[in-house]
Amino acid sequence: MRTFIAIELPEKTKAELGNIQEELKLTGADVKWVKPENIHLTLKFLGEIDKGLLKKISSILIEISSRNKYFNICLSKLGVFPNLKYPRVIWIGLNDNQQVVDIAEALEKQLIRIGLPAESRPFTAHITLGRIRSHRNHKKLIEKLELINKDLSYWSDFKVSRLILFKSTLTPQGPIYESLFSCPLANL
């Protein structure tokens, strides 16, 4: 089964990000948008795994969650990967992401120990909003991103209280995410 470990966003935050997507859609750029209800912060994409690993992965989530207390996240600016000239992914970053980075790195180390492959790139905390399919209206899209970044008012922060192992089922209408295991962070 295809899986990933993530932080789920509150409905209010998903709706705010959906509004930004609607503004960006007005550019006519060729983007495959993440459905607002599916927007999340991926900590580790596991890909196809054997069901036999679920218990080990759940144990790792329990162990890491027990060492990390609840924390708040505040969203930051919009950006693109890999760069403005050849954008492929539209994302929004985090203001202070050290705890997210620490958790992602701890997950990486533990998951390698049970035989899952290491990431080829260092972890960058971001939330994907869309994937660019072609260069159509590229300039308008970048201009709109920059304009939105100038006008972004203060984002309300939200509490991160759990880590979730998701199953992702790909369909012609887009992925369907199902929570397989949810582990609360410590209330230290």
Q: What is the pLDDT of residues 88-147, one digit of tens each?
A: 999 999 988 899 999 999 999 999 999 999 999 899 999 999 999 999 999 999 999 999
Residue extents of the structural domains in the chain? 2-184
What contacts 88, CB < 8 A, 6 or more positions away?
Answer: 80, 81, 82, 131, 132
Res 150: pLDDT: 87
What is the rounded CA–CA span in Å between residue 57 and residue 46?
10
**Cβ 7 vs Cβ 41: under 8 Å:** yes
Count of CB atoms situated within 10 Å of the CB of 3: 23
> Pick the catalytic residue: 36, 39, 40, 107?
40
* Mean pLDDT along residues 171-179: 92
Q: Is 138 a catalytic residue?
A: no
Asked whether the predicted pLDDT for residue 22 surpasses 90, the reply is yes
CATH entry, 2-184, from 3.30.428.10, 3.90.1140.10, 3.30.360.10, 3.30.750.200: 3.90.1140.10
Res 188: pLDDT: 56
Q: pLDDT-based confidence at 5, cuts 50/70/90?
A: very high
How do residues 47-83 score in pLDDT, each as one tens digit? 999 999 999 999 999 999 999 999 999 998 999 999 9
What is the rounded CA–CA span in Å between residue 36 and residue 168?
16
What contacts 113, CB < 8 A, 6 or more positions away?
Answer: none
How do residues 146-170 score in pLDDT, each as one tens digit? 999 987 766 778 999 999 999 999 9
Beta-bridge mates of residue 167: 3, 178
Q: What is the DSSP letter of 76?
A: E
Q: Is 126 a catalytic residue?
A: yes
Res 187: pLDDT: 79
- Which of 179-182's residues contact partners 24+ apart within 8 Å by CB, and which partners? 180/3, 180/54, 181/54, 181/57, 181/58, 181/61
For residue 64, how far is the Cα from the chain centroid? 18
Res 70: pLDDT: 93
> Pick the catalytic residue: 126, 132, 166, 177?
126
Task: Give buried/exposed letters for 76-113 (b at 16+ CB in 10 A, else e).
Answer: bbbbbeeeeeebeebbbebeebebbeebbebbbebbee
